[in-house]
Chains A and B, each alone.
Chain A
């Protein structure tokens, strides 16, 4: 080290370093700025997608709040509805309402004579309009023989036109509504006979082939039943399993395998659970296809890992001193866990459980496998009845070609998202409210 040549070299090195570093600095600072900007751009891109997604769906969904209705002066013609004058509700229910509607429509547009044109004139009304008439009359039989102005839903194409979602400037051949139909509609509108009203139908009816009649209540009930089964099974089993693995299980090969297995199950594609459900619950045990019971069972198996993992970490966060204190005053291990540890871990477990339920609520792929995709008009009333769930309903509507289903699909998505946001919000609230720092 006492070599004088090397010494002077060294003292020069420090100065050299300084110069070189100074010289390279602008380039490195620019790289730094660029890198940071990339990061920000990526976050903005991610959040941008989120905004785009929500914006897109909301922009499609808002028009589904309202549905167009047409005012018709309907004469509840006794000779047509109840020729024998029995005033029996069975007769009234089975009467020929479409004929009433045809009459009223021709009264509005007497100039339409052509058969073809007459049919498309009646097509302005929804196919459900006659059921609406039936409902009105059965409710109030005294209307028989009188003329009444009633508001009836219009066909989805008309609805779309009124909501300006059908472009009038498109070539007539490429349009679902012809020029003469548009002229009728314009006339109705000018007469004040067309009105957009709150779309109650959407929330109170089951599925339908006609967009203007389709609603989400059937799917909502299906989701409710399915989720009930899931919650009823996965909560106790998941919590019990978490307690066993975290508090009682010996640490050995077996519990290791169970742990790896649970972590892996949490990442198995959901559709595989559907295959399991199809093979085991439906083909082997013969449970009814399309039923909320089977759906709930499949979703239970799917959410169990989530609940177990969350439950274990909640239990793990309870400090050992609590266990020692309880054991120290002579409580059995079981008493310690159930009286002291579990209550403290409960908020964390519930948070995980709610998140698991939210995932189950949004799940659709495995339910396709077990037949919950059937077209079901009736609102289900039990666990064994064929039904569908909200996400699958969305899938079904998204697949339909009618223009009118786009807004309803989007609206159903909003309803689904509202539920999910509420559930997740609840989970966040629970976590914040009961969060403990030991």
Chain B
């Protein structure tokens, strides 16, 4: 086990039962998670996870189904608040600020940390309204022109503009699955968040749409911090710099994507990526 020497660990962090192999911590982290536990009622879904997400990096979360990837991701912008009976302990900091601090408002947090879901969930509104929704509620556009500009730019960045520019006022639910997913991505980046969480964004898509979204992720990386959950090892390898392997609610191994896939250090990780498990 390699302990990073140059990174100070917070005092609240207990090293007693370290379960994770690899570099959990990075310099200049954007998000820092320490000893995070999540319960759904009695069920202990995330157990003592500590993990950093760096600036302008894409981190891939992989692991067998039900191991808690989505749960972990939803902790990062407090989407778990909407689930009755869900409890979280531990510490999660965004740019050094505890996002679970008392009295913290989730609205600006979520504007800062956007999320794309596994199943595309466009609102039953027009394509334009879907994308304009975020800027509208936050008042990001001063006038209609500016709003149209934001919508166009977001759709362009999501690689959807050319396909829908004629149909901006048609319902978003009428698009194909892949288009819907890109619409949801456009909707998310229209708010200009700083972190984007993606939960299996390509699970319902064909290879071409997947390629488009992977390209998009690559482009976004320059300015955004991205955490992506994926079941596809190839996809993780293509888009991410770091990879975290989850198993039964624990982070088993974290490290450079290239290293993890070529040279896993934990037996479970190796079993998973060689396809012997999961």
Binding site for B on A (CB under 8 A): 1, 7, 10-11, 13-14, 16-18, 20-22, 24-25, 28-29
B222 proximal to A (CB < 8 A): yes
In the complex where A14-B194, A17-B112, A17-B191 touch, is A7 in contact with B223 (Cβ < 8 A)? yes
Instruction: List B contacts of A10 (CB < 8 A).
Output: 192, 222-223
In the complex where A14-B192, A17-B191 touch, is A22 in contact with B222 (Cβ < 8 A)? no
> For the complex, what is the distance from the CA of A65 to the CA of B222, rounded to whole Å?
83
Query: From DSSP, what is the main secondary structure of chain A's interface residues?
Result: helix
A13 shortest CB reach to chain B, Å:
4
> For the complex, what is the distance from the CA of A28 to the CA of B111, rounded to whole Å?
14
Contact call A17/B111, Cβ cutoff below 8 A: yes
> For the complex, what is the distance from the CA of A1 to the CA of B224, rounded to whole Å?
13
B124 shortest CB reach to chain A, Å:
21
B16 proximal to A (CB < 8 A): no
Contact call B112/A18, Cβ cutoff below 8 A: yes
Instruction: List B contacts of A22 (CB < 8 A).
Output: 108
B140 proximal to A (CB < 8 A): yes
> For the complex, what is the distance from the CA of A80 to the CA of B223, rounded to whole Å?
115
> For the complex, what is the distance from the CA of A21 to the CA of B192, rounded to whole Å?
11
Given A14-B192, A17-B192, 10 more A-B residue pairs with CB atoms under 8 Å apart are A10-B222, A10-B223, A14-B223, A17-B112, A17-B193, A18-B108, A20-B138, A21-B112, A24-B138, A25-B107
Q: What would be 23 A-B contacts, judged by CB atoms less than 8 Å apart?
A: A1-B222, A7-B223, A10-B222, A10-B223, A13-B192, A14-B192, A14-B194, A14-B223, A16-B140, A16-B192, A17-B111, A17-B138, A17-B140, A17-B191, A17-B192, A18-B111, A18-B194, A21-B108, A22-B108, A24-B138, A25-B105, A25-B107, A29-B107
Contact call B222/A7, Cβ cutoff below 8 A: yes
Fill in one digit per residue for B118-139: 1 if any A CB lies within 8 Å of its CB, else 0: 0000000000000000000111
Contact call B139/A14, Cβ cutoff below 8 A: no
Instruction: List A contacts of B98 (CB < 8 A).
Output: none
Find the A residue at minimum CB distance from B142: A20
Find the B residue at minimum CB distance from A24: B139
Instruction: List B contacts of A24 (CB < 8 A).
Output: 138-139
Contact call B222/A20, Cβ cutoff below 8 A: no
Q: Give which listed residue, B138, B222, B223, B224, contacts A21 with CB less than 8 A.
A: B138
B271 proximal to A (CB < 8 A): no
